Amino acid sequence: MLTWNVTYHCKKGKRADFYHALCELGIRENSQAEEGNCRYDYYFAAEAPDDLLLVESWTSPELQKAHCEAPTFAKLQELKAVFCENVEIDKFYY
């Protein structure tokens, strides 16, 4: 099992816009439908009004890698360029 905690550090005041753009694109639903996905959930950081946390879990690193090569993932990269300052990823294997 592989879990990624992805913290999107959004541009000031852009977190809600980023989240709505993700929803409109169907990022969560498409990711949950991919083989090997166990979890794909967003959380709003209480202490950091411009941060959005994604927790995603996969049955194997290979299937998570395939997710990163999906067409929807390319669209996500475009959204990040518009709305995010940077992104931090913590990876956990168990």
pLDDT digits (tens, 9 = 90+) for 43-84: 999 999 999 999 999 999 999 999 999 988 889 999 999 999
| Whether domain 2-93 has CATH 3.30.70.100 | yes
Residues 6+ apart with CB under 8 A from 4: 54, 55, 56, 57, 64, 89, 90, 91, 92
Q: Report the relative pairing of strands 51-58 and 37-44 from DSSP bridges.
A: antiparallel
Identify any residues that bridge with 58 across adjacent strands, giving them in sequence order: 2, 37
| Average pLDDT of span 35-49 | 96
Q: Which residue has the tokens 């995010």?
A: 84
Domain spans of the chain, in order of start: 2-93
Confirm whether pTM is higher than 0.85: yes
